[in-house]
């Protein structure tokens, strides 16, 4: 019997991070001391109050049944309160908030909710590859939107025009670790409204920002809500990556499309997890500060150790990554393979994030300061 997948399955790109996990495990199985800096998987425990809330509500029979398909309204209110405290943005929890089973899922669902086959989509290059998946499933046409280092890895906003149906932005940026200014986001929103392009801003790393800097929200700009929606998540700020809970906030019409699609795809996240997310969003700022400071110390430990072995690595402004420039004697993929085989370090080659990631490695800050420094020394020994 000859079986074949649907065209939409065939269009899907290879899942880069699944491959990195397999490579790391194979090296460990071979007996090597592997340092895995390839995946942005937070290694710190979830704060105790969040875990306690989950434990309490998991015993509640009401949470063991189906909850409303759109999720718990109390969580939507908590998201609105968080936006007011953090970004001074007023949000209508009834019409301007959608709950997602992790922002990764929402960032794929938005393409299914907005795009028709052949619609043009501006995609950051380099950029987070899971954006590509939703566009591929929807049959959209990817238009690379180059992030140029001379522009602090921000794209040319002149590319937003009436021929573009959807455009993705992501600041703090994964993979480059750069921030965008409020002025940049305001101009992006203005152009999106003018051209009737749906603008999506991924704010997953909004709390993980270094050296006293701040990450602005798209929704804090004058036309942000008109332009589109913004995704946030508990994964990075609260070390809840495995819990799979995130949010989309913004234009109420687009939020309505997203929720209508979700009604057909799933029945919302487990209610006890949503109650735990309410606790997370209400935690004291000291929890966020501790998480951010941990990553900043790791960033600094890696950069310092790298400099001692002759490797210059620009400090990231935000996110949990470093964007490490490479010698041009090999491709990014070849360097990543060499580092795995010679130094037993797993990294993500820049080309995993688009053609314009050539010449870079993405380094995740997901090991202790001591291990980050050790990784830098091993990497420097190979690159030099």
Per-residue pLDDT tens digits for 334-370: 999 999 999 999 999 999 999 999 999 999 999 999 9
- Can you point out the beta strands (E) in the chain? 35-36, 97-100, 120-125, 141-146, 164-170, 198-202, 228-233, 246-250, 321-325, 345-346, 348-349, 360-364
CA 316 to chain centre: 15
pLDDT tens-digit series, residues 251-282: 999 999 999 999 999 999 999 999 999 999 99
Measure the CA–CA gap between 204 and 251, rounded to whole angstroms.
18
Q: Residue 150 pLDDT more than 80?
A: yes
CA 253 to chain centre: 24
Q: Which two tokens stand for residue 120?
A: 């043009």
Residue 80: pLDDT band with limits 50, 70, 90: very high
Measure the CA–CA gap between 73 and 71, rounded to whole angstroms.
6
Cβ partners under 8 Å of residue 279, min gap 6: 49, 50, 52, 53
pLDDT of residue 146: 98
Measure the CA–CA gap between 365 and 317, rounded to whole angstroms.
13
Measure the CA–CA gap between 199 and 261, rounded to whole angstroms.
18
Instruction: Find the distance separating the first CA and the last CA of the chain, reported in whole Å.
Output: 53
At residue 323, φ and ψ (nearest 5 deg) are -110, 100
For the beta carbon of residue 119, count every other beta carbon within 10 angstroms: 18
- Alpha-helix residue ranges (DSSP H) falling in the chain: 7-11, 16-29, 48-58, 73-87, 103-114, 130-138, 182-195, 224-227, 252-265, 271-281, 285-308, 332-338, 369-383
Average pLDDT value for residue range 119-138: 96
pLDDT tens-digit series, residues 30-46: 888 999 999 899 999 99
pLDDT of residue 17: 67
Residues 302 and 37 sit within 8 Å (Cβ to Cβ): no
CA 288 to chain centre: 17
Residue 1: pLDDT band with limits 50, 70, 90: confident
Of 105, 114, 103, residue with least CA distance to 139:
114
Q: Provide the percentage of residues in the chain whose pLDDT is more than 90.
A: 90
- What average pLDDT is seen over the chain? 95
Measure the CA–CA gap between 279 and 17, rounded to whole angstroms.
30
Give this prediction's pTM: 0.95
pLDDT tens-digit series, residues 191-237: 999 999 999 999 999 999 999 999 999 999 999 999 999 999 999 99
Residue 137: pLDDT band with limits 50, 70, 90: very high
What domains can be seen in the chain, in order of their start residue?
7-46+286-383 (3.90.1150.10), 48-283 (3.40.640.10)
Whether residue 21 is preceded by a cis peptide bond, meaning omega within 30 degrees of 0, is no
What three-state secondary structure class fits 248? strand
pLDDT of residue 32: 85
Q: Which two tokens stand for residue 117?
A: 């086959």
pLDDT tens-digit series, residues 171-186: 999 999 999 999 999 9
pLDDT of residue 31: 84
For the beta carbon of residue 283, count every other beta carbon within 10 angstroms: 14
At residue 322, φ and ψ (nearest 5 deg) are -115, 145
Q: Could you identify the residue written with the tokens 């942000």?
A: 224
Measure the CA–CA gap between 292 and 2, rounded to whole angstroms.
52
Average pLDDT value for residue range 134-163: 96
At residue 286, φ and ψ (nearest 5 deg) are -60, -30
> Which element (helix H / strand E) includes 29?
helix 16-29
Q: Residue 296 pLDDT more than 70?
A: yes
User: What b/e sequence results for 257-278 when a residue is b if at least 16 CB atoms lie within 10 Å of its CB, and e otherwise?
Assistant: bbbebbeeeeebbbbbbbbbbb
């Amino acid at each position: 019997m000859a079986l074949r997948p649907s065209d939409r399955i065939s269009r899907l790109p290879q899942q880069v991070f699944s491959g990195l996990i397999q490579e790391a495990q194979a090296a460990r199985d071979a007996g090597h001391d592997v340092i895995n800096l390839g995946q942005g998987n937070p290694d710190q425990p979830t704060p105790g109050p969040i875990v306690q809330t989950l434990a309490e509500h998991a015993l509640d029979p009401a949470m063991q049944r189906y909850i409303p398909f759109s999720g718990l309204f109390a969580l939507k209110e908590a998201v609105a309160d968080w936006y007011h405290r953090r970004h001074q943005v007023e949000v209508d929890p009834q019409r301007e908030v959608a709950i997602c089973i992790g922002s990764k899922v929402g960032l794929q669902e938005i393409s299914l909710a907005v795009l028709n086959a052949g619609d043009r989509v501006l995609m950051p290059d380099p950029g987070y590859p899971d954006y590509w998946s939703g566009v591929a499933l929807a049959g959209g046409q990817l238009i690379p939107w180059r992030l140029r280092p001379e522009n602090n890895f921000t794209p040319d906003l002149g590319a937003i025009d009436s021929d573009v149906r959807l455009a993705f932005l992501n600041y703090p940026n994964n993979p480059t670790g750069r921030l965008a200014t409020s002025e940049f986001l305001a101009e992006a929103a203005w152009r999106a409204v003018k051209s009737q392009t749906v603008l999506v801003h991924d704010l997953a790393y909004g709390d993980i920002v270094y050296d006293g800097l701040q990450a602005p929200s798209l929704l804090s700009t004058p036309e942000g809500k008109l332009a589109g929606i913004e995704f946030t998540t508990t994964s990075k700020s609260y070390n809840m990556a495995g819990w799979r809970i995130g949010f989309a906030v913004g234009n109420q019409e687009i939020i309505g499309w997203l929720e209508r699609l979700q009604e057909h795809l799933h029945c919302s996240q487990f209610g006890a997890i949503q109650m735990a997310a309410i606790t997370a969003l209400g935690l004291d700022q000291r929890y966020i500060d501790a998480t951010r400071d941990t990553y900043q110390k790791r960033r600094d430990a890696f950069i310092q150790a790298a400099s001692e072995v002759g490797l210059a690595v620009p400090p990231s402004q935000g996110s949990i990554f470093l964007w490490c420039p490479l010698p041009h004697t090999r491709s990014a993929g070849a360097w990543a393979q060499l580092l795995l085989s010679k130094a037993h370090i797993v990294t993500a080659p820049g080309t995993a994030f688009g053609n314009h990631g050539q010449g870079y490695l993405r380094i995740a800050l997901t090991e202790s300061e001591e291990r980050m420094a050790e990784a830098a020394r091993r990497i420097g020994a190979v690159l030099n």
